[in-house]
A and B are shown apart, each in its own frame.
Chain A
Amino acid sequence: MFHWLEKNPFLFSVGVFLVIAFAGLVEILPNFAEASRPVVGLKPYTVLELAGKEVYKKDHCIACHSQLIRPFKAETDRYGQYSLSGEYAYDRPFLWGSKRTGPDLHRVGNYRTTDWHENHMWDPKSVVPQSIMPAYQHMFTNIADIDTAYAEALTVKTVFDTPYDTPNGVKLGTLDEAKAAALEEAKAIAADMKNQDVKDAVANGQIPEIVAIIAYLNRLK
């Protein structure tokens, strides 16, 4: 019956490959799809948080900080619940990192606050005396790029169907709406901060990078 197959070794090899590959995919893909579904209650990043994420990438925080808590007792004691893959569903790209010169940041929003980040970014040694982290004072003057962050959100909404503009979800809207929402969010954060220049900038409708990155770090829970 399959004699003809044995007479065509190349075709036979391709056939064997296809059968085995299909069996493998049937085993692997459902598991992948299941694990990468967003965890219950996960919301996409707001535009301000995305702008903060851009700052995180730009200043290369990932070089020293990871965002992945492994299921070891030593780590869960210090950082909290171990990470689940579904928590990164809206991270494009995820920022797991591979080196911890500083601590893990995946749940930093649970145990640090706006004013702590403000002190820490201005002068890390003022709160952690042995810290070797450099100061990031330029974040207090650089203005965050909200337009790019909006473009990013709009892209993932369009291309990957990230659930923006859903009922009870994160509202994206038009660029102007998004900018207004980001400014509102920034005002709430600036209210908890002490730096007068930052407060003034936000009052004038500008969002310094420090506000964006604090929004992003507070969101990491």
Chain B
Amino acid sequence: MSHFKAHSVLPGFNLALGFTLLYLSLIVLIPLSALFFKTATLGWGGFWTVVMGERVLASLRVTFFTSFVAAIINAFFGLIVAWVLVRYRFPGKRIVDALVDLPFALPTAVAGITLAMLYAPNGWVGQYFAAHDIKVAYTPLGIVVALTFIGLPFVVRTVQPVLADVESEVEEAAASLGAGRWDVFRRVIFPAIYPALLTGFALAFARAIGEYGSVIFIAGNMPYISEIAPLLIVAKLEQYDYAGATAIAVAMLLISFALLLFINALQWWSSRRGTR
């Protein structure tokens, strides 16, 4: 609490804070509380029966598992993309850089239809998988493909500026002190970009959890296998069961919030350890 009492050297704290709170309330808190109010009409028992339903639990498992896998893939390959974009010069670099943002711009339904077309057993890519008896579209693997696609920009765009800030002189210094390439990466570069990477991971993960448009076209939507939680929300709305739909949404929100809080704590902890 002492932070509040101490006068900041920067003027305008009260105004800025007031504005921030108002803005957040209008944009985030009011819609969210409306969500909670709608769910509250169910009561605890009703909420519990909806959320603990076998089918809902299975869909939550599918959603969080595929989102997690996609975010891991994005963290790994996004880091490589960011690395290449920051450290090397090559013709067409600007175009490649712009390509990274495309998944943001593309309507997700279009992305889903296109991916389903490519990865279906008769598609350009899918036929090679099919030859080895691997089904991509209409399985959880297809969901991962779609979520990886839409989550790519997050990791690249969060890691890129941080990586650019790690000056190559530092690496050269480390190298001149006898560190091998792997050591330079592990002990010099990685600690610097780790928080940004974690943020990128968290963003990609969070984005994937809420994703609906691209997934339903490639998932096949089989109950218990490839049915995502947002689809069950839509199915409930189709029955005009608003409260049931918001109940699933609230459950997803709470789990996401807990996970994001955990990731933030991890980040805070690692950055404290880094400064010591």
A binds B: no
Question: Residues of B with Cβ closer than 8 Å to A?
Answer: none
